[in-house]
Chain A
Amino acid sequence: MLIKIAWRNVWRNGLRSGVVIASIATGIWAGLFVISVSSGLNEQRTKDALDSYLSHVQIHTPKFVEDNNVEYRIENLDEVINALDNNSNVKAYAERVVLSGMVSSSAGGFGTRITGIDPEHEKNVSTMHEKVVDGAYFEGIKRNPIFIGKKLADKLKVELRKKVVLTFQKDNGDLVTGAFRVVGIYKTANSKADEMNIFVQASDINRLLDGSAGFHEVAVITKDLTMVDTTAGSLRAALPNLSVRSWKQVSPDLGYADEMMMQMLYIIIMIILLALSFGIVNTMLMAVLERKRELGMLMSVGMNKTKVFFMIVVETVFISLVGGPIGVLLGFLTVSYFGSAGIDLSVVGKGLEEFGISTMIYPNLQPKFYIDVTIMVIVAAIISSIYPARKALQLKPAEAVRAI
């Protein structure tokens, strides 16, 4: 009967309850949408980074990780390849020569990360070949082709087929320079990375390094992102003398952003719920004060304090339970729609590129989040009901039954 009374009381002042329910639904919907956009943004940023240069797992010598020196090549590459071939989680891999150096043109010189690749192998671990905006991906120029980012090309004021000079150190510390011709210009969502990374053929760079044939890095792609940690673990066991790191270990900022984002999302929802709680407290307080006589009667005839408290709490939870699922449903529908249709943020594209974010955002939210939000709404409602319920308990029955 108490539950029946509480439920009917919700609809006693339909307009007032409706406003609160609408505000709860809108708040949760807006919160979920904002969170899904943030989550989608972050996922997009991570995916772009993994696809373009980071890969899922990277293998180096431990010394190379400490000090990116040219001499720290992977010596037992066959052993690495054997371990990768025998690992069922590994989808693809590619070897890379990685150097720090300088790229210069008549417009000036800039520090850069030179990655020597086998262009065909690299296609298996990155999508750089799909990011070409001018020229081609290592086609058309046979000797010393170089594939550079749009932003760097603009800074160097070079166009297709123009020459740039790379300068880097040999094993013995001597500087070596080589002329390269621009074969293609790429553009990813991360303009900072475009500015820093240039790609050349590993064979060309090794020739300049007095014919060394080694590689510094093996980039690995797993069959699924969820397999990254287990794959890294099994490779680590198989290759005890090498450094095997997941993308989160290679680029802690990305991994950290991923974890931070989840915490931020919960904080955002909590702030929204806190704001909604004030509305709920206000409404329930009005409901209690308006019903003084009724509550006074209930206490007079022998309804104990626990039951009075329970009735107010249940009433508040009902209001939230109506508003909460509507908000969650609206959030789910909105996220599902924009998750496939995407949101075009090209208006602010330049700013996003600085942060390595693509201009097309696909909002995304894990199912667990909807459940957590629903639970948080109920908890917030229960907490919100405590003050009005306590106010109800403080009523003196003899006075309350005569209240106007």
Chain B
Amino acid sequence: MSAVIRTNNLQKYYNPGEPLEVRALDGVTLEIERGEFTAIVGPSGSGKTTLLNIIGGLDHQTGGTAHIGDTEITALNDNQLIDFRLHNIGFVFQAYNLIPVLTAKENVEFIMLLQKRPKAERDARTEELLTEVGLADKMNNRPMEMSGGQQQRVAVARALASKPQFVLADEPTANLDSQSTADLLDIMAELNQKEHVTFLFSTHDQRVIDRARRVVTLEDGKIISDVRK
């Protein structure tokens, strides 16, 4: 298997060199292979979100490198990062963050529009993804007309719409009840198994940790354990 994500001695310091220096990431070296279903866990302030932000091209490191495939993402400027994120990374957020004025179908299609994909391809992929997440009958519903679990499933479909190299999911189940969490994890596990989509979660949720096939634990910005099941 080839590595989708590689970080080498990744560092993120706030107020470097000052008395109040904070080491959010302190030399994280990690490889995520294609098709992995990995959870990044750790207490609050351990550096989970910072790690995901740098891997996701949303934040800059203080030191070290991060590669997505063959691209050193930590060497890209802001404009290059925007384009890179659009074509290579899928995002699932804790609060779903769907566009409330668009329907489920339009929310999924929107990413492909940004990628300038042809209409026929957009339509087919949107239908396919919403069917896979079990929302074929909710295509024309707006987020307000759906439950939290359904909204998060739309968010997963949206994350996959751009055919990314991997999906970053930041606490994706934090706002969901048990049943919705179970349903969402089932869908993501199935997508991972069938389509070899690489998922990387940050989570506190034991239910997610239990389903993950690899668990990386962070503490004080360092990896303290990396367990493959």
Contacts and interface: CB of A to CB of B under 8 A. Distances in A.
Contacts of A12: 100-101
A305 B94 CA distance: 24
Interface string A303-315: 1110100000000
B82 A293 contact: no
A55 B162 CA distance: 76
B57 to A, nearest CB: 9
Contacts of B100: 12, 294
Interface stretch (B36-44, B65-73, B106-114, B221-229): B106-114
B64 to A, nearest CB: 18
Interface stretch (B85-93, B133-141, B193-201): B85-93
Nearest to A300: B91
B15 interface: no
Given A5-B102, A12-B101, A301 B53 contact: no
B146 interface: no
Nearest to A404: B95
A118 to B, nearest CB: 77
A5 B86 contact: no
A13 B61 CA distance: 39
A397 to B, nearest CB: 5
B105 to A, nearest CB: 12
Interface centre among B59, B84, B93 (most CB of A within 10 A): B93
Interface in A55-92: none
Interface centre among A293, A296, A301, A401 (most CB of B within 10 A): A301
A401 B59 contact: no
A95 to B, nearest CB: 75
A169 interface: no
B83 A294 contact: no
A302 B84 CA distance: 8
A398 B86 contact: no
Contacts of A1: 106, 109-110, 113
Interface string B44-59: 0000000001001011
A376 interface: no
A303 B100 CA distance: 17
A300 B56 contact: yes
Contact of A402 (B56, B59, B94): B94
A297 interface: yes
Contacts of B99: 5, 294, 297-298
Interface centre among B87, B91, B101, B106 (most CB of A within 10 A): B101
Nearest to A7: B101
A8 B99 CA distance: 11
B79 A301 contact: no
Contact of A297 (B79, B91, B101, B113): B91
Interface residues of B, number: 29
A299 to B, nearest CB: 7
B9 interface: no
Nearest to B142: A8
Contacts of A294: 97, 99-100
Interface centre among A296, A300, A307 (most CB of B within 10 A): A300
B82 A299 contact: yes
Contacts of B95: 293, 401-402
B113 A301 contact: no
A398 B58 contact: yes
Given A5-B99, A9-B101, A302-B82, A401 B93 contact: yes
Contact of A397 (B58, B114, B158, B162): B58
B59 A398 contact: yes
A301 B87 CA distance: 9
Nearest to B97: A297
B228 to A, nearest CB: 28
Contact of B85 (A5, A300, A305): A300
Contacts of A299: 82
B93 A302 contact: no
Contact of B58 (A300, A305, A307): A300
B150 to A, nearest CB: 17
A293 B155 CA distance: 14
Contacts of A307: 114
Nearest to B161: A301
A305 B78 CA distance: 10
A12 B102 CA distance: 11
Nearest to A293: B97
A302 B91 CA distance: 10
A301 B59 contact: no
Contacts of A402: 93-95
Contact of A296 (B59, B97, B113, B162): B97
A65 B162 CA distance: 83
Given A294-B99, A302-B85, 16 more contacts: A1-B113, A8-B102, A12-B100, A293-B93, A297-B93, A297-B97, A300-B56, A301-B158, A301-B162, A302-B84, A302-B87, A302-B111, A304-B83, A305-B79, A401-B170, A402-B95
29 contacts: A1-B106, A1-B109, A1-B110, A1-B113, A4-B102, A4-B106, A5-B99, A5-B101, A293-B93, A293-B95, A294-B99, A294-B100, A296-B97, A297-B99, A300-B58, A300-B85, A301-B91, A301-B158, A302-B86, A302-B114, A302-B162, A305-B79, A307-B114, A396-B58, A401-B93, A401-B95, A401-B170, A402-B93, A402-B94
Interface of B: 53, 56, 58-59, 79, 82-87, 91, 93-95, 97, 99-102, 106, 109-111, 113-114, 158, 162, 170
Interchain residue pairs A-B with the least CB separation, the first 6: A302-B86, A8-B101, A297-B97, A398-B58, A302-B85, A398-B53
